[in-house]
Amino acid sequence: MKKHTHSDRPQLPELTDRLRGKSRRITGQREAILGVLRHHPHPMSSKEVQRSLGSEDCDLATIYRSLHLLENIGMVKRFDLGDGIARYELMGTDDDGHHHHLICRRCAEVVEIDDCFPRELEEEIARRNGYSGVTHRLEFFGLCPRCR
Amino acid sequence: MKKHTHSDRPQLPELTDRLRGKSRRITGQREAILGVLRHHPHPMSSKEVQRSLGSEDCDLATIYRSLHLLENIGMVKRFDLGDGIARYELMGTDDDGHHHHLICRRCAEVVEIDDCFPRELEEEIARRNGYSGVTHRLEFFGLCPRCR
DNA sequence: ATTGCTATTGCAAATCGTTTGCAACTGGTG
DNA sequence: CACCAGTTGCAAACGATTTGCAATAGCAAT
């Protein structure tokens, strides 16, 4: 079992703080969804979140709406693993959540990768093309040890 | 207008050669779709292809099927620009089509990028995690000169 | 606690990109 | 030029995600 390398996961009180004052409410559903994400170190789709909710089950539409909200206030980050399904990961309290994944083509196991595209090269690409505010989306695909 | 850096675009006769002998047929629709791709240096969605067909218009389903076919025989490459829409680009005759894109967040202009994630680093990532056959998907996003 | 206003939820219907079943059609080989 | 497997168009099916709306529930002020 891989120990992920991110900073500590935010506690629920943080949700409270981030929502209050934005005319947003702290609902049972939102706490439950956050709770699920806190216990999963990997990107989860809306359906996976729902399955993990157990007794706290709530409507899929609510999960979609909650994940969008959490993404907007920067508590979760959206990842696109290339299969047309949006997945979300809880952000750490201090880092910016920027990291990548290595996904098994066969069993879809996900490993977090902290290596990143060289910053200088990215800046050079931006400069060469006159672009500003350049970021990147990067994911790796391969065969995991067990699926070889 | 950016001159793209790939090798020459395949001529139609190549389609002929690649399809013949595979119990596949050279139809007007496939030629038309290939023709459209040959005139567009950037990734195109199925709908964009259809719009560009003009008088040679054909069913969307046929376009989806043709693009899958062309992808399977290696004549086009599929790109995922992160908006949930599959896009395809014609492959050059000699290169493997591996390259990346820099997409404007605002106007969606696309520039081709030939820089790539460092091979050694990719191999190291593979080794470290026991994965084999590792490849990557990489796209850049930013603001183009005009949209700044 | 109770009230009242507004954000939020559940449900169902609507969207959107993509896929598929099927009968009609058409390359291209013999 | 006839035949047959590969193709096409059309419409229906799909899966992920979004949205309209009436019912419900935070929460701030009473």
Cα–Cα dist B82/A26, whole Å: 31
Residues B4-53 pLDDT 10s: 444 555 666 677 777 776 778 999 999 999 999 999 999 999 999 999 99
Model pLDDT for residues A14-64, shown as the tens digit of each residue: 777 777 778 789 999 999 999 999 999 999 999 999 999 999 999 999 999
B26 touches strand C (CB under 7 A): yes
Q: Which residue is nearest to nucleotide C28 (CA to C1')?
A: B25
Interface check for A115 against chain B (CB to CB < 8 A): the answer is yes
Q: Which residue has the higher pLDDT, A7 or A135?
A: A135
C-alpha distance from A122 to closest chain B C-alpha (Å): 8
| Å: B148 CA to D30 C1' | 51
pLDDT at A140 over 80: yes
A80: nt with nearest C1' to CA: D16
Distance, Å, A126 CA → C19 C1': 38
Encoded tokens for B139: 């796209």
Residue B89: beta bridge partners?
B77
Q: What is the dihedral of CA A7, A11, A13, A17, to 10 degrees?
A: 30
> Which residues of B spanning 77-106 put their CB closer than 7 angstroms to strand C?
84-86
State the pLDDT at residue A4: 45
Q: Which of A108, A26, A103 is nearest to A35 (CA)?
A: A26
| Mean predicted lDDT score pLDDT of chain A | 90
Q: pTM of the entire structure?
A: 0.88
- Flag whether pLDDT at A80 surpasses 50: yes
The pLDDT value recorded for residue B13 is: 67
Is the C-beta of residue A59 closer than 7 Å to nucleic acid chain C? yes
Smallest CA-to-CA distance from B95 within B116, B80, B74 is with B74
pLDDT band, very low/low/confident/very high, at A82 (cuts 50, 70, 90): confident
Per residue in A106-118, pLDDT (tens digit) is 999 999 999 999 9
